Structure 1
Amino acid sequence: MSSAGGEFGRAVRAALKDQRLSIRAASRAMSYDHAFLSRVLAGKQLPSPELAESLDRLLNAQGSIVELAARLLDGDAPSATPPLPTLADFLPEGDPLSLPTVRSPRRVGVGEVRDLQQRVHGLRLADDVLAGGDLIGPALRELRKTVRLYRENTHTGEVGRALLIQIGELAQIAGWIASDAGRHEEAERIYRLGLSAARQAEDHTLAGNLAGSLAYQMSNTGRTDEGLTLAQAALHDTGDDAPGKARALYWDRVAWAHTQAGGTENSQAAMRALGEASAALADDTDTDEPPAYLYWVDAGELQVMESRVYTELRRPLRAVPLLRDVLGGYDATHTREMALYLSWLAIALADANEPEEAASVAERVIRIAADVASERTAERVRVVLARLREYADVPEVATLLADNAAA
């Protein structure tokens, strides 16, 4: 650790102690990940300017913590690249999947595991056509039921591992559903539970899927540094032995995390990650059947992510044709995704100085979103309307804004 790095960690820890705040309490108060803050204060990872500002406000340090971080980031940092975090850094504390002693457990067999696999995949397929607000109840009930099945009964080692894998798969889709319903804290707890189960089952591909899903939520809810760190950890820990579809998906999530982090360097890194995603999918020569949860990953989905990245990077000449191509053949029954992809098209059209067409597409987004119980679509409606305010003097846009003033 550099001298500035050590000074930063010591100063923050001393200030926390003076105010009788634990690292966990501080991370909760700032809505930062506890493991991330712990790594920073231990000198394992550099603080971001945003984290330094949050700590400065929390501790009423009057700029001293921001100054320390600036010194560290401006040249007093170690010359060597800090070690990448691993997925173990993101696991929940304790062991929520420990096996208690129960009086009359029953034996769980492979038949129940197969039934569970079908229910989990059924929930994934339901998520294609239903939104988080519609599915959150059934998803949480199924997750609680499955955790109890594992903890409160006996099983062979093989069946126990299979149950852990199903808990991980179920946690991934349940976390996704909770996130879509706007229940982000609950989604994070679910993702971390699933990550613990996948790690115990030694299923690194599944662990990467869970970590990437959590990273995606972090990137979309303002925790961009954490999202990028976790997305990179998911990719790194999964390794080259993962199926090509999995590696393509994890590279896509790294690309999105870089995009949300902002800045020229991250923009370039996002473009490189998109290229790696396409290469991973093209090089997929694995003859084994990929995990069922990767059923939706194909060239079309990579095109969706590519178009969204171009939109966020304000490159409408590349984004608009891709989005039109995607939407031209998209399954209309997938209404939530249809609304989401149309929202990016509306933004890209606005960036291309086509406000009339952007307003027309935005109207479709609003009409579809009204019937979808998804916080993500509701947020995208707000984003689109905010972007179109720049063109409030265009009659079509003015009418749209007036009709949707409440949004």
Structure 2
Amino acid sequence: MTSERRRRFGEYLARLRLATRKSQRQLSEALCLISGTSSVTRNEVSRWERGGRVPDDWLPVLAVALGVSLEELERAAAYARGETLPDGVLSPVETLGYLLPDHGESLGPLVSEQGRRVGRSAAEGLASRAHGLRLADDVVASGDLLGPAFRELRGAVRLYRETSHSEDTGRTLLTGIGELAQIAGWIASDAGQHAEAERAYRLGVSAAREAGDLSLVGNLAGSLAYQHSNTGREDEGVSLARAAREEAGDEAPGTARALYSDRVAWAHTMAGDAQNAMRALGEAHEALTDAEDSTGPIWAYWVSLEELQIMDARVYTELHRPLRAVPLLQEVLDRYDSARTRELALYLSWLVIALADANEPEEAASAARRMLDLTSDFPSARTAERSRVVLTKLEDFRDVPEVRAVLDEHAA
């Protein structure tokens, strides 16, 4: 994890350098000039940016050369060294800036150029197409949506960059890009294309920030935090999920705040922090209660008490509290929309684990059979991974005939 943090710190330094329009050689020369020595070479700067080492002794000089505060650099360097920083040491903006460097994105910079003029209706159409993709994602396999989603995203970026428009229309276009980036990233993540998903999320954060839509920033950063938490980057998942919630602020709609807190809860769960996970679950429910009499963003259409209960149960399962998890999962799944095949399969997988932990192997086998039958017709990297988790868990009960039958049938 420390090497990954150094790599991210290196990307952060490169981003700061590029913002000053300096090459690596020019930065090394500036550092030598400021320090009065000749001991920093371009190769040394390159080593820092690759994550080979953290330039602890050079932080004061780097702060001057890059035009940033020494305090900010020292905090980022401490994080890169693997130190655990207390809550609040990195501000939400600093955390997002450090974990989401935006240089070198393949989709290009979001700079509007002069061209044909477009109005508000064209801009609003982006949000409509984003919502169409969200609804499709509920029932269509990610592999079938991946291409269309990224074509829409690239088309939206071209529309913004190659047209002229009013300031208000520009903000609407940027919001549409942010929404398309979020659902494209989500689809890519489900398909196991994590690097592509991360690029989309970063692009979306840039667009949403430029549009001034902090609620959407929170959704995008929280989506990436969720991916980090599920792909072995638990510490970054916690930091990013918390920063996403805090930057969006208390003024965000209740459904959005409920979603942010749910992602914080999951991040803490995957990091093994039960106390903070449970606290975040409570905050999610409080936020949803606040949302009952208000209208939330369209991208939070699916956030409901039922979905929060599912997350509660998933957290309880991961924390090995099956007596809490099983009743919740059974209650919700009994009335869950069967058309949402992937989500139904995923949630059944947690029921299998919870039942196994509760020493109910026959019921676990029944739920596993249902889950595995669903996944056979709905390919997804996430459901494939959960299938492996389920089958591994059931191996502990191979002597039970119902379990053995499931394992033999799905051994391949």
**1:183 aligns to what?**
193
1:284 aligns with 2:291: yes
**2:247 aligns to what?**
237
Aligned mates of 2:386, 2:173 — CA distance in 1: 37
**1:88 aligns to what?**
97
Give unpaired runs (5+ residues) of structure 1: 1-8, 28-38, 53-68
Counterpart amino acid of 1:118? S
Superposed, 1:40-51 pairs within 5 Å as: 42-44=73-75
**1:302 aligns to what?**
308
Superposed, 1:121-132 pairs within 5 Å as: 121-132=131-142
| Aligned-residue offset at 1:356 | 1.3
**2:371 aligns to what?**
365
Aligned mates of 1:94, 1:166 — CA distance in 2: 22
Aligned mates of 1:45, 1:271 — CA distance in 2: 28
State the TM-score, normalizing by the size of structure 2: 0.80
**2:26 aligns to what?**
none
Aligned mates of 1:243, 1:88 — CA distance in 2: 24
**2:110 aligns to what?**
98
| Aligned-residue offset at 1:20 | 6.2
Match of 1:375 among 369, 374, 381: 381
Counterpart amino acid of 2:254? G
| Aligned-residue offset at 1:111 | 1.8
1:21 aligns with 2:62: no
- The 3-state SS of whatever aligns with 1:44 is helix
- The 3-state SS of whatever aligns with 2:261 is helix
**2:340 aligns to what?**
334
Superposed, 1:82-231 pairs within 5 Å as: 82-86=89-93, 87-89=96-98, 90-93=100-103, 96-99=108-111, 101=113, 105-231=115-241
| Aligned-residue offset at 1:120 | 1.4
Q: 1:211 to 1:20 in 2, by over 3 A?
A: closer
Aligned mates of 2:200, 2:170 — CA distance in 1: 19
| Aligned-residue offset at 1:83 | 2.8
Aligned mates of 2:237, 2:229 — CA distance in 1: 5
Residues 341-388 of structure 1 show CA distances to partners (whole Å, capped at 9, x for unaligned) of 100000000000011111111111111101112100000000111111
Number of equivalenced pairs: 353
Q: 1:296 to 1:80 in 2, by over 3 A?
A: closer
Aligned mates of 1:100, 1:281 — CA distance in 2: 38
| Aligned-residue offset at 1:286 | 6.0
Give unpaired runs (5+ residues) of structure 2: 1-8, 14-39, 54-69
Residues 282-313 of structure 1 show CA distances to partners (whole Å, capped at 9, x for unaligned) of 122664x3211011111111111101101111
Aligned mates of 1:342, 1:80 — CA distance in 2: 35
Q: 1:42 to 1:116 in 2, by over 3 A?
A: closer
Q: What RMSD in Å do the two structures reach over aligned CA positions?
A: 2.7
Q: 1:81 to 1:402 in 2, by over 3 A?
A: same
